[in-house]
Chain A
Amino acid sequence: MTRRAPIAAAVAVVAAIGAAGWNAAAQQATDVESLTFLGKTVTAAQLVLGQEDYAANCASCHGANLEGQPDWRRRNENGRMPAPPHDANGHTWHHADRQLFTITKLGVSAIVPGYESDMPAFEGILSDDEIVAVLAFIKSTWPERERGFQAEVTANDEGGS
């Protein structure tokens, strides 16, 4: 089996769910067998759950195709930054697994004290397992280069994979 074969399998599973609007990112879905989050292998079932939870909780701001809000590098009138993309155009893949989990669960201010963001802390809204699933789903959409970079950042961070 080639390295890409499991990717196709993962894409097939995700595609079978039939989520509308899931197109470009799914094309770049990656090897589910090699995908980890916080050191644990991600399953296809987690990706399905992650996609559902992403659509329900994240897509309204970060975009159905993970594209972020328009002009996301330009600050809003209230001084806060728009929601960035989670695809390869954004910077999510520069953050270690632990950072991503903490930001999602506790908010950006958990990483940058005092930082004001429109993104809520998802503690109490999503379970830890659901947060992991969402982030695993986002990771699964990254091209190989970005996944490799993020894996290195995570490996350099204690507690990462």
Chain B
Amino acid sequence: MMNEHSRTGSPLGRRQALAMLGGVVLSGLSPARWAHAGGAVASALAFDGGALVVAGAQVWRHDLSGGASATFPTPRAHIRALACHPARTGRLFAALEGGGLDRSDDGGRTWHPASGGLPMPQVTAVATAAGAPDTVYAAVAGDGLWRSEDAGENWSFVMDRPWIADAEREVLTIASVNLASGMGGIWIYAGTERGLTRVPDCFCRWQDVVAGNAMDALVAGTPPAPETPLPEGEPVLALTSAMAAPERLAAALPSGLWASSDSGVNWAHRSGHVAPALAAHPTEPSRIAAITADEVILSHDSGASWAALPTT
């Protein structure tokens, strides 16, 4: 069997070529510009303790209780995606533009590399495991899903990219959703360039989002089709699940922001905002933040209404 880590320094192969192509495809899915926070372009956000962290060309930390905001320098490169876990306040993981992943243990003030063994192509999405604060997942363009069980010190390949409509599809966003998979673990949901999918965290196979777990599907035979699924074929740009209410999901598509209250089976269109980043508050599931082309917006009612945050 090929040594997973040997991929990092190998000559350009099929995977690397696909990764480069994936980067081109992914850049085509991104608008030309996004909101500014702290005076710089932002493209990622996360709730960390009592703060909303907005990142991109720099890191902007906004105290949600009405306290002061602070701006910190970016790590080595523009931040493309952020992840954190409520049990590890102050610890942030940042996927960097161009590849690599950094970690901060002080709320975004300082950063250090956390990508030992992770291949160099673009990390397109990052998430922490809902039930294991030190476990982190990263999706690598043209490659697949990687996992670290020691907070980014070491990484190993766990799953190829999803197979949808006769091709492997790029993972644009991932979320660890604390719902039983029926296989002794929980689900990892992924937004791809061709819609939503999910895989149990034992990584046996990507599969459609249907009601219940795998055993429910077995008992029911062919599960009923969702009445109101996400629009077919649209890329899912961002996805989030609140740990306090994992059956409630929010997704950002080119057609706007969508919400689900049944684990992603059925969805309701909540607004026309187009957002590359979403975050749900871990303990207040109705509170959702998003980055749009013009502003950072916050909802306190699961996306039914939004207000812009002052970011300068």
A94, A111, A157: the one within 8 Å of B217 (CB)? A111
A10, B22: Cα distance in complex, Å: 51
Chain B contacts of A158 at CB under 8 A?
215, 219
A108, B157: Cα distance in complex, Å: 23
A81, B204: Cα distance in complex, Å: 10
Q: At the interface, yes or no: A130 with Cβ under 8 Å from chain B?
A: no
Q: At the interface, yes or no: B28 with Cβ under 8 Å from chain A?
A: no
Residues of chain A at interface, number, CB under 8 A: 30
B163, B205, B214: the one within 8 Å of A99 (CB)? B214
Q: At the interface, yes or no: B227 with Cβ under 8 Å from chain A?
A: no
Query: Which of B93-101, B179-187, B234-242, B259-267 lies on the face that meets chain A?
Result: B179-187
Question: Do B208 and A73 touch across chains, with their CB atoms under 8 A apart?
Answer: no
A104-161 residues with Cβ-Cβ distance < 8 A to B are 108, 110-115, 149-150, 152-153, 156-158
Question: Do A152 and B184 touch across chains, with their CB atoms under 8 A apart?
Answer: yes
Question: Do B182 and A91 touch across chains, with their CB atoms under 8 A apart?
Answer: no
Chain B contacts of A149 at CB under 8 A?
184
Question: Do A98 and B163 touch across chains, with their CB atoms under 8 A apart?
Answer: no
Please give me the residue from chain B that is nearest to A75 by CB atom: B160
- Please judge, given known A-B contacts A73-B158, A81-B205, A113-B222, whether A94 and B184 are in contact too, CB under 8 Å: yes
Question: Do A95 and B204 touch across chains, with their CB atoms under 8 A apart?
Answer: yes
A84 to chain B, nearest CB (A): 8
B222 to chain A, nearest CB (A): 5
Question: Do B183 and A95 touch across chains, with their CB atoms under 8 A apart?
Answer: yes
Chain A contacts of B158 at CB under 8 A?
73
A92 to chain B, nearest CB (A): 9
A70, B185: Cα distance in complex, Å: 25
A134 to chain B, nearest CB (A): 18
Question: Do A98 and B218 touch across chains, with their CB atoms under 8 A apart?
Answer: yes
Chain A contacts of B204 at CB under 8 A?
84, 91, 94-95
Query: Would you mind naming 5 contact pairs between A and B with Cβ atoms under 8 Å apart?
Result: A94-B185, A94-B202, A95-B204, A112-B205, A112-B207
Beyond the given pairs A79-B167, A91-B183, 17 more chain A to chain B contacts, judged by CB atoms under 8 angstroms and listed by A's residue number, are A73-B158, A73-B160, A91-B204, A96-B182, A98-B215, A99-B182, A99-B183, A99-B218, A102-B218, A108-B205, A111-B218, A112-B205, A112-B207, A112-B214, A112-B217, A149-B184, A157-B215
